[in-house]
Structure 1
Amino acid sequence: MKYKSEFLNFIQERGYLYQCTNIEGLEQLLLQNNYIVAYIGFDCTAPSLHAGHLIQIMMLRHLQKFGYKPMVLLGGGTTKIGDPSYKDKARSILSIENIKQNTSCIKRILEKMISFDDRKTGAVIVNNADWLDNIKYIDFLRDIGAYFSVNRMLSFDSVKIRLDREQNLSFLEFNYMLLQAYDFVELNKKYDCRLQIGGSDQWGNIVNGIELGRKLNLPELFGLTAPLLLNAQGVKMGKTESGAVWLDGNMLKPYDYWQYFRNVDDQDVGRFLRLLTDLPIDEVKKLESLKDQEINEAKKVLATEVTKICHGDKETELAQSAAVFAFENEDNSLLPDYTITREQVANGISLVNLLRNTGFEPSKGAARRLIQGNGCKVNDNVINDVNHIINSESFKGQTFIKLSAGKKRHIKVVVG
């Protein structure tokens, strides 16, 4: 579909546009106003966002480039409950101090990726704890809760799926919908915010906020969702069996971040170039048309561009250079480290466990299959014995061994 709004055409071509509560009304708003405020919310459940949040962050960047004002809502208040949407069980309850620390860390990450300045389009960060912490419960139930239908809330897939599986949904979590809806109302009243953007799993929460705004006679509010970041197998990106793909360089080195995107499936390259980079669409089309071995060049571009946005030019250049030297010139000194203890070396650690512990394989079974398929090397020597033990003899007087899984994944195992 062709829109009159350049912004809507842009996000549709790049693959961001998934659902909208009233696309015709939103287009009219965009055409009538060269300045609108739009927000995306992030709960503070960890000290870093991860790769699964990148689509939302890119949406904020693009909003700003089109002359609109992006707003980041950090859930200092809602994190105390935890969003139950599509979760199998309740989130762990974090301490107030942990939430505050996480909030500060996430702010620092976002400030690297979005422009927070004094311009009219400069992004702003707000924290819903500023109003949610001061709510009087009885007053909130009277003033806000009266507008919500439990029947309607139970009809949303995010809740319905959990109940259909007969998994517990606490009353605490059930309140989350009301609080997120109230956030949208507060942001409209305080900042004239008219648009909420989120992942497709936030559709029910977004709709609730828009319906609440209508019942409170606010100007029409709009909701727009982007697809979740899934790989070619339909699995959520951003988290792996071995840990999350964190955006914080202290939690995941820029080198490993670069490598993560360098090693994506061939089928994902074009889509990720559209969603996760600032490259012009014509350049993206050229790169996504590459086939066979040439697709590896497109993967390098993807890894470099994504890492630039998250970690900056300097760290990206270092990560890219390290990869070239490590894998094309076989310079092992530039490989990332994984430390094992002297006690582990003395007692011996199975190669199967080491492959799992380093994150090369998600399970012992997968590690065994890799070994049996001649896909594992120690110091560039193929190991096909699933009972192989790494011990002091493996190091042969050296300070590290090189562990390889396939052709692209390599690491230095160092004795700490």
Structure 2
Amino acid sequence: MEVKIAENLVEELRWRGLLKDVTEGAEEALAKQKVTGYIGFDPTADSLHVGSLLPIMVLVHLQRHGHSPIALAGGGTGMIGDPSGKSKERQLLSEEQLQINIKGIKAQLAHFLDFEKPGNPARLVNNADWLRPMNLLDFLRDTGKHFTVNYMMAKDSVRTRLESEEGISFTEFSYMLLQSYDFLQLYERYGCTLQMGGSDQWGNITAGIMLIRKVADAQAHGAVVPLVTTSAGTKFGKTEAGTVWLDSKRTSPYRFYQFWLNTTDDDAIRYLKYFTLLSREEIAAYEHAVETEPHLRAAQTRLAEEVTRAVHGEDGLARAQAATDVLFGNRELDGMSADDLVDIFAEVPSCAVPRADLEGDGLSVVDLGVMCGLDRSKKQVRNLIESGGLYMNNHRVDDMNQSVTLADAIDGRVIVLRKGRKQYSLVRMEEA
């Protein structure tokens, strides 16, 4: 099946801020012919994280413009570790763990790339297929001879590590040769002539271009995307709770949604360009909204919706939005599980109450409010109830003589108390 090539890929990438640098001739090649391009993904975990979304989106645009994307899983190089951008050597992984990680990564990539698109399917390739059976002497003779030590030491990724206190092991020093060999193998097997990656990969990419030129007498190209930081200059994808993962078991859809919802006004439009497929007209409208009605946070809401839907599907997005409504007291807790509520209210104060205290007639809601610190005295809690400011499981408490029993606990495990609009306490049942 013939695939039509859209000529404006590079223009699109530049407008979205997804292109930091490109080798000479790459733009012309992408405009004139169907190009196969790849990006490598390091399988150091069984899930990708939000920092991986930028290269994923580059592959998405590549496929949408009629070119063929390859996601290269480093099942072989993952046993070595890339020194680029790292201050110390990584922990080496077993082959069994690498296979588990690659399986998880492929499932996540399938949310973005079409691996069955007629005439232009995406591919997931594992470089262990050619690196594992490779003979060391053959590799040194056929590949190593094309690289001088001076050439390798001039690369930023190597020079930076050489100047550090940690230094660089021979294992990591060899990584550049292996990645270059990957590019050569992808060229020979799939006609791949374009390698892309983060800007810290420029040295490895140009080394691969050089190897293809020397071994195959062919022209290859490279392009790099910027390394994403926040407007405050901090590393993107890191929160106080740690890394934001694409796997719902590591980062729940609610927390994932909240990560994007909390984007600052300074970053919102840039992230809409990076991480969504919204048109220029749509993004211009959100840019105007940020300038004129920033309090509505329309850009952040759309960003959170688009990225959460892409990663977790409509069901995950619906769960995340429902959880957000619960947090702000805009909906009842019907259908929410105890696990959901523990996740939603993980960062609010909590108190533990012996399960036995809630058996039978239970505790008065006034006593529970004091025990959990919503107010300092029973009188203050009573005044809170009289003013309509105390809620249990998002239902207003109208009777100061109301009792709280195990029947009020979600899944028999947790109760949510709220003072006013925002002051929460999560009541956890504990065994004696």
TM bracket, shorter-chain basis: 0.7 to 0.9
Please show how residues 264-413 of structure 1 align to structure 2 within 5 Å: 264-289=263-288, 290-291=290-291, 293-294=294-295, 296-329=297-330, 331=332, 336-338=341-343, 381=374, 399-400=413-414, 412=426
> Which residue is 2:137 aligned to?
138
Rounded to whole Å, the distance in 2 between the matches of 1:207 and 1:43 is 19
**Corresponding position of 1:31:** 31
Q: Who wins on radius of gyration, i.e. which is larger? A: 2
For 1:345 and 1:169, the matched residues in 2 are separated by 50
Alpha-carbon contact 1:69-1:120 (below 8 Å) kept: no
In the aligned structure 2, how far is the partner of 1:38 from the partner of 1:412? 50
Question: Alpha-carbon deviation of 1:410?
Answer: 7.8
Residue of structure 1 in register with 2:176 after alignment: 177
Alpha-carbon distance change, 125 to 216 in structure 1, aligned in 2, over 3 angstroms: same
Structure 1 residues 64-83: aligned runs within 5 Å:
64-83=63-82
Counterpart for residue 357 of structure 2: none
- Determine if contact 1:255/1:322 at 8 Å carries over to the other structure: yes
Equivalent position SS for 1:101: helix
Give the TM-score of the pair, scaled to structure 1.
0.80
Distance 1:412 1:160 in 2: 52
Between the aligned residues of both structures, percent identity stands at 40
TM-score normalised by L of structure 2: 0.77
Q: 7-16 vs 244-253, which deviates more?
A: 244-253
Q: Provide the residue aligned with 2:232 in structure 1.
A: 233
Are the structure 2 counterparts of residues 155 and 345 from structure 1 closer, same or farther at C-alpha, using a change threshold of 3 Å? Answer: farther
Residues 96-135 of structure 1 mapped to structure 2, 5 A cutoff: 96-135=95-134
- Which residue of structure 2 aligns with residue 251 of structure 1? 250
> Does structure 2 conserve the Cα–Cα contact (< 8 Å) formed by 1:380 and 1:402?
no
**Gap runs ≥5 in structure 1:** 348-377, 384-395
**Residue aligned with 1:125, SS:** strand
Aligned-partner Cα distance in 1 for 2:73–2:149: 26
Q: Which is further off, 229-238 or 99-108?
A: 229-238
Q: Cα gap change, 1:270/1:415 in structure 2, threshold over 3 Å: closer, same or farther? A: farther
Q: What is the CA distance between 1:270 and its match in structure 2?
A: 0.5
Question: What per-residue deviation string (whole Å, max 9, x for no partner) do you get for residues 184-243 of structure 1?
Answer: 000000000011110111111111111111111332111100111211122222233422
Q: How far apart in 2 are the matches of 1:109 and 1:142? A: 38
1:53-86 CA-to-partner distances (Å, cap 9, x unmatched) read 1011111111111111111110100000011111
Asked if structure 1 preserves the Cα contact closer than 8 Å seen for 2:352 and 2:428, the reply is no
Letter in 1 for 2:302: V
Q: Is this contact kept in 1: 2:353–2:428, CA < 8 A? A: no
Name the structure 2 match of 1:361.
Answer: none
Q: What is the match of residue 391 of structure 2?
A: none
Deviation for aligned residue 1:279: 0.9
Distance, in Å, in 2 between the alignment partners of 1:408 and 1:208 is 55
Shift of 1:112: 1.8
Whether the 8 Å contact between 1:272 and 1:302 is mirrored in structure 2 is yes
Q: Distance in 2 between matches of 1:100 and 1:270?
A: 37
Question: Runs of at least 4 residues of structure 1 off by over 4 A?
Answer: 330-336, 344-347, 378-383, 396-399, 401-404, 407-416
Structure-2 residue corresponding to 1:58: 57
> Does the residue aligned with 1:70 lie in a helix, a strand or coil?
strand
User: Take 2:425 and 2:182, find their aligned partners in 1: how far apart are those partners?
Assistant: 45
Contact in 2 for aligned 1:379/1:402 (Cα 8 Å): no
1:273 is matched by which residue type in structure 2? Answer: L
What is the CA–CA distance in structure 2 between the aligned matches of 1:294 and 1:222, rounded to whole Å? Answer: 44
Summarize the Cα distance change of 1:235–1:256 in structure 2 as closer, same or farther, 3 Å threshold. Answer: same
CA deviation string 1:77-123 (max 9, x = no partner): 00000111111111111111111110111111111221110512110
C-alpha separation in 1, matches of 2:415 and 2:112: 36
* Match status 1:17 vs 2:19: yes
Give RMSD over aligned pairs: 2.9
- Matched AA of 2:30: L
- Whether 1:208 and 2:207 are equivalent positions in the alignment is yes
Matched residue, 1:160: 159
Whole-Å separation in 2 of the counterparts to 1:253 and 1:79 = 27
The answer to whether the 8 A contact 1:206-1:223 is kept is yes
- Alpha-carbon displacement from aligned partner over 1:389-415 (angstroms, at most 9, x marks no partner): xxxxxxx976447699xx999895745
Aligned residues: 363
Per-residue CA deviation, residues 158-201 of structure 1 (Å, 9 max, x unaligned), is: 22222222222110011111100100000000000011110111
Q: 1:319 to 1:148 in 2, by over 3 A?
A: same
Could you say what secondary structure the match of 1:216 adopts?
helix
Shift in alpha-carbon separation, 1:168–1:311, aligned structure 2, 3 A:
same
Letter in 1 for 2:325: V
Write the distance in 2 (CA, Å) between the matches of 1:8 and 1:173.
Answer: 33
Q: CA offset at residue 249 of structure 1?
A: 1.5
Provide the C-alpha distance between the structure 2 equivalents of 1:120 and 1:330, rounded to a whole number of angstroms.
47
Alignment CA distance shift 1:414-1:157 (3 Å):
farther
Whether contact under 8 Å (2:78, 2:98) holds in the other structure is yes
**Partner of 1:337: helix, strand, or coil?**
helix
